[in-house]
Structures are given as structure tokens and as C-alpha cells.
Amino acid sequence: MKMTNRELKEIIDLWNFKPEVKRKLSEIIDRAGEGKPAHLFRYYCPDKKKDKVSKLERNFASRFGSRYALAVNSGTSSLITALVACGIGPGDEVIVPAYTFFASASAIVVARAVPVIAEIDETLTIDPLDIEKKITPRTRAILPVHMRGLPCNMGAIMKISRKHGLKVIEDVAQAAGGTYRGKMLGTFGDAGCFSFDAYKIIASGEGGMLITDNEKTYIRAQSWHDTAACWRPNRYERERMPGELFCGENYRMSQIQGAIALVQLRRLGSYLSALKKRKNLLSEEIKNRPGTLSLAPVNDTAGDCSTGLILLADNGAEAKKKILELKKKGVPAGGIYDQTVRDWHIYKFWEHIIQKKTPTDEGCPFTCPHYKGGLPEYSQDMCTATLEILGRVVNINVEENWTSADIRKIASLVAGRR
């Protein structure tokens, strides 16, 4: 059942959108001719000026310096689409960090490949040294994740990928706008995958983006994200290149998501600048007030999105004590690894992988006849370095409205002064 303009406007008024978001949504809803329903479908927009998804793709590609951008309905969809588009499938292994949201590993299984879980280092990103240790004849790709806005060591990762002929698919879900040595995160490997859900830097409720410089990867990604093939110049024409057409999914983004993400993309630079300014000030204040916590190393401080400040305690008990102390004083502090919390950002709680759970009894991809060799040995204690590091973390969420006084107060409390 199609909604009228009036009904759609009532929905918009119920949401606490900022004025600029409401204006973008109104552009979609207000069509020529009284009472005509809004066109919310990604394709066949009757007024090209109101095609917000296509505009978002163009603007995103331009902003990130990529040849192609494909909007999808979630960050997970972006990862699955990228894996399939890059030819990852049955019999393949993909290396993924032990600290990331479960979707990074789940996407590999959905693509019918096998995840190989690697340690992180104190930067909270995948450890290049452990990547090398985890490579086998079946390894086809590395999936680095820029956790908490922190850039991975892309220099080392790309060197490893070139040495072994591996694909690189970057998970940039938590680091939109971040860089490594001046280059945008998501543009190093074969594809970059972004999330626009409610808790991400660019937030449209749901949604995601895939970027790539490779035309074939882009065309295959379009096929997978839209099995109905509305993206094709002539929807029903024959295959134009080998590997273009195959059975896929429907991961399309709606015009509503596109309109909201457009506004978020526009303010990305100013938002990250505000966070970076405050994180840098807080870091300097903490350096000048020695205490029991130390600043965690960052692969590239200039490229950090600055959504949070990571501090390291000497041990887990000290970290817990400090977190409670800071919270009592009103500081937005938290830990990462607490054995009492089943956090799906930590591999230990990925029972789906550890126990090789699958939706059907045959156990694909873990029982796939195309998989030649022994499966990775999964267990809750297989990445002990990761657990030890995460247990020592004290995280302080950075807020864009902090004043200089707020920053000095937080630094003083971190140092243990009242």
C-alpha cells in the first residue's frame, strides 16, 4: 500500500530530524501533482534531481577519492557484496581480526568462505605479524577492520597482500573519514566497506557503502546487491562481460536512507575536525599529567577519526578499578573485555564460528568439498594476546561539545587527581 505525501510528512514530523534532514526528505516526498505517492525505490526515479541514492554515491566517491561507489542497505551487506564481487567463495580462507563486530566474520561465512581469526596488537587493530603466521595455501584475502576509528597498519598489510597475492577488503564501518598516511581508509585494497547504522560516524538509521577502483569488482557488486538487475543500462540484455550476471541478493538502499546519509556526509569533515581537536587536547593534557594509565599506540594519529581515546592499564584489575572511578566522576569511560559480558565484538563469544554453526545441517562452508586441508582450530583461548590487551583498555568516548575546562577536568581525573 502506497502512502500519500501527507502520511509521509506525518512520519517525518514524528522523528527528531534536524532541519536539513527534513528538507532533504521533503525533496523526495514533494512530487509534482497533488496526492502522488513519493518514489522511495532506489531505481527509476521519475525526477532525477530527487534521486538521492545516486547523488550520495557520486558525492561519496568524490569525497573518498574512489572511482566507484555502491550504496547498500547495511555495512554487513557491503562486506558480503565485496567478498562476492572479489571472487571469494567455497574453498577460500579470509583472515579477520579477533576484535571486530561479529558481522565481519559472519560475512565471510555467508560468502561461503572460512574465516581465520588473527590477533590484534595494542593499536586495537589486526597484528600484521600474526597475519603472516595465519596465511595458508587456501588464503585468498585479508579483511582488516579499522576499529573505533583507529587506522590499521595499512602499509604492512598491503605489503603482505602483494607478497602473497591476496585480496584486501577494508572494513571501515567505524572509521568513515579516517586516513592512513594521508590516504583515505577504504581506498587501499580491492574494496572498502562502510556502515551507516545509528551508531556510526555517518548515520542514516541503516545503510552502507562499497567503494572500489576496479570496474569489474564494481559491476559484480552491482549484480550481487540487486539480483533484479535494475542497475543495468538495459535490464534484460545479455551478459556484457564474463562474470557479470549471477544469482544475487537484494541489498538496495532506499531514497530515504540516501537523503539522510547525504546530509551526514556533508558534515563529516566538520564533525571529525571537532572530535580530533578535542582528542588531541585531551591527549596532550594526559601526557602532561603522568598517572597509572598510558596512551595506546596509534598507527597514524593524523588519520585517527578520534571518536574515542584508548588508554592502557598495567593489568585488567587496574583497568576495571579506573573505569569505575572515572564513571563515578561523570567521565564517559568504559572497558572493552569483561568476561561477564557476552560482547560480540570479541572473538571469544563468536560461538557461531567456534562451534561452526550453520543454518542447515550439512555445515557449509566448513564441510565444503572444495575446501582442501584442515580447518582452522577455533577455541575461546586461541587469541590470548587479544584478550590480554582488551582487558587492559580504558576507553573514553570523545564528545564534540567538550570545552577546554571539560578536557582539563577529565585529564586530571585520569591522572588520579580530584
Please list the active-site residues: 200
Who's near 51: CB < 8 A, 6+ residues apart?
45, 255
Location of C-alpha cell 564528545: 399
Measured distance CA(405)–CA(89) in Å, rounded: 53
Helix (H) or strand (E) holding 287: helix 268-287
Strand partners, 99: 346
Please give the Cα distance from 153 to 180 (Å, whole number).
Answer: 8
DSSP letter at 50 equals G
Q: What residue type is assigned to position 224 of the chain?
A: W
Q: Pairing state of beta strands 93-97 and 167-171?
A: unpaired
Of the candidates 129, 125, 122, 127, the residue with the CA atom closest to the CA atom of residue 392? 122
Please give the distance of CA 338 from its chain centroid, rounded to a whole number: 23
**Is residue 395 within a helix (H) or strand (E), and if so which, with residue range?**
strand 393-397
Length of the chain equals 418
Sign of CA dihedral 83, 86, 88, 89: positive
CB 287 within 8 A of CB 279: no
> b or e along 105-131 (b: 16 or more beta carbons within 10 Å of the residue's beta carbon)?
bbbbbbbbbbbbbbbbbbbbbbbbebb
Q: How far is CA 191 from CA 116, 188, 201, in A?
A: 19, 8, 19
410: closest CA among 311, 313, 302, 296? 311
Helix (H) or strand (E) holding 390: helix 384-391
Burial class (CB in 10 A: 0-12, 13-18, 19+), 22: middle
Q: Are strands 333-334 and 393-397 parallel, antiparallel or unpaired?
A: antiparallel
